[in-house]
Amino acid sequence: MSILNTIPEPSRWSRIKKSKIGYSFRSNPVAVVSMCIFVCITIMALLAPLIAPFDPYDPAQIDIMNSEYPPVWIDGADPQFLFGTDDQGRDLWSTILYGTRLSLMIGLCAVTLQAVIGISIGLISGYVGGRLDSLLMRLADIQLSFSTLMVAIIFLAVAQAMFGSELFSRYAIYFLIAVIGVSEWPQYARTVRATVLAEKKKEYVDSARVLGFGPLRIMVRHILPNSLSPIFVISTVQVANAIISEASLSFLGLGMPPSQPSLGSLISSGFDYIFSGSWWITAIPGVVLVVLVLVINLLGDWLRDVLNPKLHKG
Amino acid sequence: MSLLSVRDLTVKFAMRDGNVTALNQVSFDLARGERLGIVGESGAGKSITGFSLMNLLSSPGYIADGTIQFQGQDIVNLPDAKMRNIRGNRMAMIFQDPMVTLNPVLTIGQQMVETLKAHRRLSKAEAEQIAIMKLRQVYIPSPEERLMQYPHELSGGMRQRIVIAIVLLLDPELIIADEPTTALDVTIQADIMELLLELCQSAKVGLILITHDLGVVSQMTDRTLVMYAGRIIEAGSTREIINDPQHPYTQGLINALPQQTAPGQRLKQIPGSMPSLTAVPKGCPFEPRCAFATDVCRSTPPEIVRHAHVEVACHEVNRLHAPQQEGQSA
Amino acid sequence: MTMSANETPLLELRKLEKRFELDQGFLETLKFRGGKFVREKRDVHAVNGVSLQVTRGEALCVVGESGCGKSTVARLIAGLLTPSSGEIHYEGTRIDDKSRHDLLPMRKKMQMIFQNPYASLNPRMTIKQALEEPVRYHNRALSRGDVEAKVADVMQSVGVDPSWMGRYPHEFSGGQRQRIAIARALTVDPEFIIADEPISALDVSIQAQVLNLMLEAKEQRGLTYLFITHDLSVVQHFGTRVAVLYLGSVCELSDTATLFENPKHPYTKALLSAVPQLKDDKPSHIRLKGEIPTPINLPQGCPFQSRCAHANARCMSETPRPLTQPDGSMVACHGVEEDRLLS
């Protein structure tokens, strides 16, 4: 009954909406800067083998005699090591590049795993309803009542004890992805279930049912595409969380081994030398981690504002 | 002096890709105690007219041009504090959804007393007395008990009655009712309309009734404005407009009603739909849907002029008028 | 619309009932009454013993106010809800107890049009996808070209330009969306259409267009309609027979012309008198006492008894049965039965 009626209802995934996202993005400097930084970090991390002057995984390139050189802007630095070296004599710049790559990869894979488990459970739970819904949601509640870190610590500690450090180190990346992925699925399941419950009441779902379509088709082809916005939003937050979880676990010595350091294990390995003056081993990867997580969260905030239908005004 | 006098009211909405004109040079008068219907389809600008009169337009909408005189006082540029005093006190608005007016966490009594005390110096007991009296006036059974109840405990029809009682609290001179019964059932709608009519007649309150329902307008109002794409296209006495509409759109609207056609026959439909406000044709806004459109209609927007008993904005009104009128009474 | 006795009706509802549980979890059913806990379940009685027959080729309108159960009846027939008791027969076969799979052939015969054209089309699907999906699903053997031809044909028949197929629903106006929704129902070539308030969300000038479209489809395709609405002027125009629903029961069922000329049930009379008329010649409307009771606690006896001016002791205690009147209409009212309503 107002001007709103004359303007097409905002519906996602459309040309108009795309331009709306584009417009909102362009007019939001925080989002633009965050996106630039995120893209820079990601590209550098992905191209790590090409950019990095050294290969931190190659023991032949590591000389213990080079250990604990400070970054170039401090007296006593060796100019071939931009950010200095760590306690084992690895070039910190190269190690950070490789570490960021690992952290991002673990974060993304873990979130993909979470999303697959969480979205399937959320869809089924919301669409089928009844007892199954109650059962699955109580499972999610139980899962949520344990902190992710606690579950991960127990699981990883047991795994480490069972398989031995050697084997564990070799497969640490898979263990991390699995444990972070499995322990955070309820976030997705709950969000998806809530949107499914809202979407299920809409007439297009009834219409699909009257046309005789099966539940699987309705869930995947009709409801899921309309539940994507909240999934996008929590995905950004979850990627940031997963990166932090990985860093925390590695910091506690339950994650990536020192021979293949992620950002977390780098921070951890430098921690012992903080008081001996080699603060950069901890500080520089720390700054990278904080910046990475911050820009992802800022992008997530922006995305949430854009995709929130309640904030749309004609 | 008329109660309300609107001249060349133009409302625009500032959009990302330029301004959209939502109301285009709307002018009308309302005498004291007169009941005016504003009819139109969604997007015609009737609700925006109501909001502008109350000075309730919110960003991105703004009054770009024109004056609104309420009892001789221009209210377009009135400071907020003064406008608040007029709003609610001397003019009040009833919305389609009573929950727009009612606060779900306060009892009916609290809301009524609060409204009264905001505008009058009264004790709580006095305010409650007035509230009970007004609830009686709108035929609410056992009003003392209702004061203690929350809006969600009441049915839709009852809530709308209470909104009317709240509106009446301060004895306004003008009530603007925006689709007050659209959300209600027919039997309840008839009750509420009868009540509004009775109250307006007995207290000489001016009423602006915004609706899409020609039947309601016909029963309730003395005069009618027909709006289309942000303009008034026909204005005049309700009887004249219903019995002998001049503008092809008004004719089409009335002829399209199922009552106007024998059962089972095709209805006389108007082709197409109202242009979106971002794409109003440059000539007559109704021209793309009009069977009588000529080159003039395509190039120049028509002025609203007196014709027969009404005022109408149509270039071709003289040509199309005479033979169209048979078979109107059904 | 007379029906010969030996012809099986297209659709038959037998004593259809639907109750919704208000308290679902076990804990919600526990109530503290008189010093101890009791288990108590409250039900919403949405539909109470509705029996109707729809004959091939007719347009049966179901009218009533909000909460009378008319949409529930539609959804029960469409299989979106399962009845609490009673039976639904389509062409003589019982359909309410069949599984989704067994109902698949039925789906091509019976389709539904919904009230809100803004919600009944999937916003993430183009018109082409939305219209092709049911055709493909029900006719697996059709080639790509056949499917496209079929969809273009249906779009043409509802007056939507097939060249707009690549667009999304939000790019269309409400009237066009409703046309597309109708087209989607027509893609499977149904013979029976349940229309749940198909025009009440549309503007007046658009309502006429959509009603005309439905009338055209009826003539061209020989459709049978079950038309749910609250708008009596539409009923008078569109319906061949009318069932008036109040609190989940049918209170009057008759030919449209008979109902509008000579309404018998006090509720029908009140309903008809409340419709705002264009011309000023109608008597003022019959005012009903109070408002519709909640369907949680149904009144004893006649459902309308609490608001009826003619209610007596019998109405309070005994539920009236639908009885056939001399002019062929069926009325469930003790007053009509006893012939004491002449006022």
What is the tens place of the pLDDT at every residue in C69-127?
899 999 999 999 999 999 999 998 999 888 888 888 888 899 999 988 888 999 889 99
Token pair in block for residue A157: 């500690």
- Per the CB < 8 A criterion, the answer to whether A117 and A182 are in contact is yes
Range of the domain at B312: 247-325
Facing residue for A1 by CB, picked from B22, B47, B61: B47
pLDDT tens string A196-251: 999 998 999 999 999 999 999 999 999 999 988 889 889 998 999 999 988 888 88
| pLDDT at residue C144 greater than cutoff 80 | yes
C-alpha B206/C-alpha B208 separation (Å) is 7
The domain boundary, picked from B127, B154, B169, lies at B169
Facing residue for C104 by CB, picked from A204, A209, A212: A212
C-alpha A245/C-alpha A239 separation (Å) is 10
| pLDDT at residue A190 greater than cutoff 50 | yes
| pLDDT at residue B326 greater than cutoff 70 | no
The chains in contact with chain C, meaning 3 or more Cβ pairs closer than 8 Å, are: A, B
Per-residue model confidence (pLDDT) at position C342: 67
Q: Does B213 touch chain C (CB under 8 A)?
A: yes
Per-residue model confidence (pLDDT) at position B328: 40
Q: Using 50, 70 and 90 to split pLDDT, how confident is the model at C283?
A: low
Q: What total of structural domains would you count in chain B? A: 2
Q: Give, for A246, the enclosing helix (H) or strand (E).
A: helix A228-251
Q: Which residues is C227 bridged to in the sheet?
A: C61, C195
Q: Average the pLDDT over B261-286 and give the result.
A: 86
CB–CB of B41 and C234 under 8 A? no
What is the CB-side half-sphere exposure of residue B186 using CA atoms within 13 A? Answer: 23
Residue with tokens 């009834």: A206
Per-residue model confidence (pLDDT) at position B195: 87
| pLDDT at residue B198 greater than cutoff 70 | yes
Residue B112 lies in a domain: yes
Q: Does B61 touch chain A (CB under 8 A)?
A: yes
pLDDT tens string A255-306: 888 788 888 888 888 777 777 777 888 888 889 999 999 999 999 888 888 8
Percent of chain C whose pLDDT exceeds 70: 94
- Per the CB < 8 A criterion, the answer to whether C227 and C303 are in contact is no
Residue B181 lies in a domain: no
- The fold of A32-42+83-308 is MetI-like fold (1.10.3720)
- Per the CB < 8 A criterion, the answer to whether C275 and C259 are in contact is no
C-alpha C229/C-alpha C17 separation (Å) is 20
Residue B210 lies in a domain: no
In angstroms, the separation between the Cα of residue C272 and the nearest Cα of chain A is 28
Using a CB-CB cut-off of 8 Å, the residues of chain A touching C76 are: none
Query: C162: Cβ–Cβ under 8 A, 6 or more apart, which residues?
Result: C151, C152, C155, C156
Q: What is the ipTM of this complex?
A: 0.85
Q: Using 50, 70 and 90 to split pLDDT, how confident is the model at B1?
A: low
Residue with tokens 């050697």: A166
C-alpha A83/C-alpha A79 separation (Å) is 9
Asked if the peptide bond before residue B60 counts as cis, ω within 30 degrees of 0, the response is yes
Percent of chain B whose pLDDT exceeds 90: 32
C-alpha B63/C-alpha B221 separation (Å) is 27
Per-residue model confidence (pLDDT) at position C281: 55
Residue with tokens 């992008």: A299
The lowest-confidence range among A77-86, B60-69, C332-341 is A77-86
The domain boundary, picked from B169, B187, B217, lies at B169
Residue B140 lies in a domain: yes
| Residue-wise burial string across C172-201, b where 16 or more C-beta atoms lie within 10 A, e elsewhere | bbbbbbbbbbbbbbbbbebbbbbbbbbbeb
Domain residue spans in chain A?
32-42+83-308
Residue B6 lies in a domain: no
Residue of B nearest to A23 (CA): B16
Q: Does B271 touch chain C (CB under 8 A)?
A: yes
Residue B177 lies in a domain: no
Residue B109 lies in a domain: yes
DSSP string, B57-69: --TTEEEEEEEEE
- Would you give the DSSP letter of residue B91? E
Using a CB-CB cut-off of 8 Å, the residues of chain C touching B257 are: 204, 208, 233, 278
CB–CB of B16 and A3 under 8 A? no
Q: Average the pLDDT over B158-175 and give the result.
A: 90
The domain boundary, picked from B169, B203, B225, lies at B169
| pLDDT at residue C250 greater than cutoff 90 | yes
C-alpha A125/C-alpha A140 separation (Å) is 11
Q: How many C-beta atoms lie closer than 10 Å to residue A279's C-beta?
A: 15
Query: C308: Cβ–Cβ under 8 A, 6 or more apart, which residues?
Result: C266, C267, C289, C302, C315, C335
The lowest-confidence range among A116-125, B226-235, C19-28, C210-219 is C19-28
Facing residue for C114 by CB, picked from A207, A225, A226: A207
Per-residue model confidence (pLDDT) at position C62: 95
Q: Which residues is C110 bridged to in the sheet?
A: C192
Nearest CA to B257 out of C64, C194, C217, C203 is that of: C203
Nearest CA to A163 out of A85, A242, A254, A228 is that of: A254
Question: Where does C110-222 show beta strands of DSSP type E?
Answer: 110-113, 192-196
Round the average pLDDT of chain B to a whole number and report it.
87
Round the average pLDDT of chain C to a whole number and report it.
87
